[in-house]
Structure 1
């Protein structure tokens, strides 16, 4: 009779329908020396639960100030809106500006003008690339998320799930 009750409780436990009292009955049953042979596979799981219940976290948890925690989230949608606005402005200005750019007859003067233009482009490009350096921090954070997969593998071994 007790064995039938344990089997019913196990079925309820697997469906997530047990109360705390019923789960305690299961833990008590599987902590005994003698368990029905066909229920031996559940014994390590409930033994783990009993040991895990006794563990305590003893490390200090640093509290993060609220100002750091509530950073503004950068909205990437506005980048696309700004890009479209810049393109539209460029097309408008291109159509309104006279295309007669002229030529410079003196090669030295032409070289100086090109050098100035390239220097201006270089400064602006460097300014733009320096603002996206935060992406390296994002990559570091994303790489640490790989540890979550290791934790998931460990829990799937404990609960004998198929991956």
Structure 2
């Protein structure tokens, strides 16, 4: 009869509907030496809970802060003001859109776009010529890789 009552209490415990008195009954039951084999896992769990109730924290907890945080708060407020001033400056001066002009004649607009693209292309080609020496550099690096192959074969021959 008692085993049925314990099983019902365990079912209530698993559902989270037990009262404190019913949990105390479960603790007392599982503190016994002999427990049915199918309830051994509950015995270990309630033994753990009982052991944890006896534990105490013995270290001191410092309640005063280690650093004075007012120094950091002052500098954060100075930085915030600086960011706001920079934002106001850029909003008023930099982002004012100038009238760059428009073309009423589509052919004239097309000619100006072509002229601009040709200028960009010529400047890009000048820059590409200056970077062309990297090809020679890559060829030199590939020749140096042959030295690595030679080193690997000598290691194989002499088994270093």
Q: Determine which structure has the larger helix proportion and give its number.
A: 2
Aligning the two structures, in what range does the TM-score lie when normalised by the shorter sequence?
0.3 to 0.5
Q: TM-score, normalised to structure 1's length?
A: 0.44
Q: TM-score, normalised to structure 2's length?
A: 0.44
Identify which of structures 1 and 2 has the higher relative contact order when contacts are C-alpha pairs closer than 8 Å and 6+ apart. 1
